[in-house]
Amino acid sequence: MNMNHPFAGFPSIEEYIKERNAPGISLAEAKTLAIPHGPLCRVEYASSRSGMAINDFDEDRYILSRTDAGAALIHRKTVGSMQRTITEKQYRVGEESASEIRALVERENLIAWSKMKVDPDHPDARFQPVDTTWSSSLKLTFETPDGEGEMTAAISMEAAKQQGDRDVISALIDLLRGCIRDDALLSEKTERSEGSPNAMGFLRFPEPNDAPASKGLMCPVCGSPERPGNFCPECGAPKKWICPACGTENKRRFCTECGQKRP
């Protein structure tokens, strides 16, 4: 494989089609299927509700990330679609809570749940016209076995529902929500925006992190463009760190004084 190719590392079209058309596995198989992976890096759960009325939309998104300082949880609440209000709060997560989440993910082998697929013939999969629709998603990100990259497992909530084991997902969601405590609040911000048409005529809504990024600077942990604030909005990593070798305060991946790599 030519690693200099812009799509190096991505599956080929043939591999993608093969994976998409492959039959899903059962819950019993998912609980025993071994998928090599490294430590859990991030958990992202989102739940949304959309009604028939204009602007009738709300979403709760929880993003738990591992950082150099421990773990942090971002709770992003979105209300409205055309006139949108986004409230984002970041919380410090204690090691006990983070350990409970890691233990549940490993105990239930949730990385393999991504291999379960929706059965279109299942009674719950039949379309029923309603005035309000709900949707949810769950993504788990792990280090690769060699520790050199990341791998993501996207779990179909509908497939998990069809398989009949809702208690595990509910327990994970409860653990995420349990990290929200007033005494652990690190930061809070609220943004309001109006939908505006894009070049194709569809409404385009500013994202929470649409503020201009610092040119050329990226988070040294996850690589996302740097934004204003003391923590990375994508992974929760603190922007500043103290070099353990010389004591210099730094913001980049290597110490500017002695060249020591960020721990």
Give the model confidence (pLDDT) of 133-189 as tens digits: 888 899 999 999 998 999 999 988 888 887 767 789 899 999 999 999 999 999 999
Given a contact cutoff of 8 angstroms between Cβ atoms, the answer to whether 244 and 263 are in contact is yes
d(CA 179, CA 27): 28
What was the pLDDT predicted at 60? Answer: 95
The pTM assigned to this predicted structure is 0.64
Q: What is the pLDDT of residues 25-59, one digit of tens each?
A: 888 888 889 999 999 999 999 999 988 888 889 99
What was the pLDDT predicted at 201? Answer: 39
**10/92: higher pLDDT:** 92
Given a contact cutoff of 8 angstroms between Cβ atoms, the answer to whether 233 and 226 are in contact is no
Q: What is the pLDDT of residues 84-124, one digit of tens each?
A: 899 999 999 999 999 999 999 999 999 998 888 877 676 66
Half-sphere exposure of 241 (CA within 13 A, CB side): 23
Half-sphere exposure of 57 (CA within 13 A, CB side): 11
What was the pLDDT predicted at 65? Answer: 93
